[in-house]
Structure 1
Amino acid sequence: MNLTINHCIVLFNILFVVVYMSYLFKIKAFKMNAESLTHQPLFKAALTIPIISFFLLGFVAWNGHDFQIDTEGFNNFLNISKLPLAVLSLSIPLGVVVNNIHRTIQTDKQIKEAEKKNKVDFFYAHRKNTIEALQHLESLDIPLIKKNTKLEFENCYSTYRKCYPYASTTNSNFDASKDYIQN
């Protein structure tokens, strides 16, 4: 009878791990995001599976042994608990692996956000410098029939947009418009 209960507990432990892993695949837990580590189902699984397996396998190992608080009892506990303790000790390296993967995902997100911010900053710096250069151009007097006409940039922002039509905060294409420059 005792052997049958132990077999059932071990089978239940295996079934628990298989069902939990199936659940993780179903909710796509292996595709982690940049949310905090405690919100990652994979991190919770890295802790939950070894802890529950420790108690289930421990119940099998401890069944039939008396609770003894002395040197002999402690040595006996360590001797009969090798497998449950080994399974429990897996929670630390599994948690560390999940943490490192999560940190890589967060770093990647930070790099992408920094690149996006740099594109925006570069666009505004380019626009500012170009407009300042246009504003500091000296006006030209063009002699026309019976009068001189002054040529100057009245709206530098509009000139910038016509000169660099492809430039934007999301696109770092600062190629000058050949049509505008040639005309």
Structure 2
Amino acid sequence: MHKNLELVAYIFGPLILSIIILQLVFGALNFYNTARSPTYKKLRLFALDADRGLAEQGYLWLSILTPIMYFLVFGSIAWEGYTPSLSGEGFKKFIELSALPLALLSLCIPLSVLIARVHATHQTSIQIETTRHKNNMDAYYAHRKAMFEYFGYLKEIKYPGDITGDFNAHPRLHLRFFIDKGPSNGTPEVNVEAFETSLKTVSEIQGHIHKALLHKSDLNSVINNYASACTKLIELSSTLHLPCVYEELVTRQGFYTLCQDSAQPVDADLKFCSLGKGTDQLIGAYRYTRSFLRVLCEFAGYDVKFFNDKRYYSVDKGSGYKSDPYSFRDISDYLREASDISVNNKVARYDRDQRAQQAATFTGG
């Protein structure tokens, strides 16, 4: 048992002793340097620090000191009973006796070289990661800057209804239409869902305007489609951050609560905000929003084939929305007519509710 413990001590003792010595040395150096500079970054024995030189790496000194300690420990066993002799025979005997200790000592060379290579590789890895991070940051902000510059090249355009559309991209636009995973992840990806949703909404608005302006449409169809077009246009312009539409064209006077059927309860009334005061401003708001979205699609490299569809060409371009097959009447005329009918329907509904209430009271009595 005693021999086994002694063997374990010889095997692990030099390594443990080397660690203790280096910990004491590093502790003393840390204490001294911290006293001189509170911001001093402490040395650590079991760590490869890419910010420090090779001479400050604990593993390097451990790879040197440990073989020396093994050399001394196993050498003391091999040299027991011998005295130094500075002669040819003495050196010959020393080499003969010290084969194992010298072999252990020689390990410091390959171990230190290995540590040096590992340290260099670690530094290279850190440098690559730092470069990648910087490149990703540059790419991210370059993409944002490119978007603002792309929109900045476009001048203001006059649309029907005396609407002046500018093409100043709001920073939130980048967050809404690109998948932002943070600057460290580089150029953001296109948010396909946001583009698809917006294009679908534009298509729906286009269809609602077309149906609302057809001269064959009855009053309820005109108003319902107009209300849907306004509601969706306000929502989309808000997403694209176009205050010219969702703020300037929306007023308190433009809020409607229309009773289209006196037989229906109050909850069934049509509630919506109108855009502007008539057909021209509705068309102008739609075309401005549509143009802005097209520019955004072009910048993102998203498919713009929808904008080349000429199904409702007069709604998208020109003044054809004022001629056949569209009505010559302005949408504001329909709104006034619908409002008058709504007042009569509300009165009729009120009278009906009052009679029903009186009848219930009389029956109950």
TM-score in same-fold range (> 0.5) = yes
State the distance in 1 between where 2:68 and 2:19 align.
18
Change (3 A) 1:106 1:20: farther
What is the match of residue 102 of structure 2?
85
Please state if 1:141 is matched with 2:155: no
What is the match of residue 189 of structure 2?
174
Q: Tell me, yes or no, if the aligned pair for 1:134 and 1:156 is still in contact at 8 Å.
A: no
Read off the aligned partner of 2:182 and give its amino acid letter.
S
Read off the aligned partner of 1:116 and give its amino acid letter.
H
SS of residue paired to 2:159 = strand
Read off the aligned partner of 1:78 and give its amino acid letter.
I
What is the match of residue 51 of structure 1?
68
Residue-by-residue CA offset, 1:85-118 (whole Å, 9 max, x unaligned): 1110011111222232333333222222222111
What is the match of residue 42 of structure 1?
59
Question: Sequence identity, in percent?
Answer: 27
Q: Tell me, yes or no, if the aligned pair for 1:166 and 1:174 is still in contact at 8 Å.
A: yes
The CA RMSD measured in Å over matched residues stands at: 3.4
Between Structure 1 and Structure 2, how many residues are aligned? Answer: 170
What is the match of residue 28 of structure 2?
none
Q: Give 5+ residue unaligned stretches, structure 2.
A: 21-43, 203-235, 237-365
Alignment of 1:1-183 (within 5 A): 12-17=9-14, 19=16, 29=46, 32=48, 34=50, 36=52, 37-144=54-161, 148-164=162-178, 166=180, 168-172=182-186, 173-176=188-191, 177-178=194-195, 179=197, 183=236
SS of residue paired to 1:127 = helix
Read off the aligned partner of 1:97 and give its amino acid letter.
L
Shift in Å at residue 12 of structure 1? 3.9
Read off the aligned partner of 1:113 and give its amino acid letter.
T
Read off the aligned partner of 1:175 and give its amino acid letter.
V
Structure of greater relative contact order (alpha carbons < 8 Å, 6+ residues apart): 1
Comparing 173-182 with 111-120, which one deviates more in the overlay?
173-182
What is the match of residue 4 of structure 1?
none
SS of residue paired to 1:78 = helix
State the distance in 2 between where 1:28 and 1:65 align.
37
Q: Give 5+ residue unaligned stretches, structure 1.
A: 1-7
What is the match of residue 5 of structure 1?
none
What TM-score do the two structures reach when normalised by structure 1?
Answer: 0.72
Shift in Å at residue 161 of structure 1? 3.8
